[in-house]
Amino acid sequence: MNISISQLPGIGQKISLKTGEDSMLVLIVHHTGKRELYFFEDADSEEADFAMDLTSDETRELGAQLLGATYQPVDADKLKIFKNQIVIDWVELSKRSSIAHQTIEESEIRNKTGATIIGIVKGDETIAIPEANTTLVPGDVIMTIGKQEQIDTLSDLCKGEE
């Protein structure tokens, strides 16, 4: 990012931020405290694609948000580790399964597999976060979350291959 600051005599200061993608943000801070923010998709353009006025408080809040005052993104390496460990998958319940026609509670899926049911598609109906007394019927598509081994165990259980 290339940043340049220039004085605007009688007005205030102009701060230009040119990105690596050749777009540009320009902030004009007036002596009066008024702030104008301009966005140029093409840094060489004469006319801004977007402009807005900001109060000093709004400018400080925007700056704080850009600095991560209220939200810090997850480290990309930690996200990769999480993504490799947690899987969401859909498994169809077979009529051969030992858990067919049982409630979620009766089936003890969590105890047997370690996976957690987070949704069920029953024909045209979708149940998000189903209750423990929801009956599992052949043809139901179970949305589950867990580690890959847990999902594989649940898949075998739903196919009747446990």
| Cβ pair 106, 122 in contact under 8 A | no
Let me know: does 154 contact 91? Beta carbons within 8 Å: yes
Mean pLDDT of 143-154: 91
The fold for domain 82-159 equals Alpha-Beta Plaits (3.30.70)
pLDDT at 78: 61
Give whole-number Cα distances, 21 to 1, 17, 87, 160, in Å. 9, 11, 34, 54
Contacts of residue 87, defined as CB under 8 A and 6 or more positions apart, other chains included, come to 145, 146, 147, 148, 151
pTM of the model: 0.50
Given a cut of 70, is residue 143 above it in pLDDT?
Answer: yes
CA 19 vs CA 25, 26, 162: distances in Å = 8, 11, 56
Q: What's the angle, vertex CA 88, arms to CA 149 and CA 114, rounded to 5?
A: 40
Residue 162, pLDDT above cutoff 90: no
34 dihedral zone (left: phi>0; alpha: psi -120 to 50; beta): beta
Rounded Cα distance, 26 and 43, in Å: 10
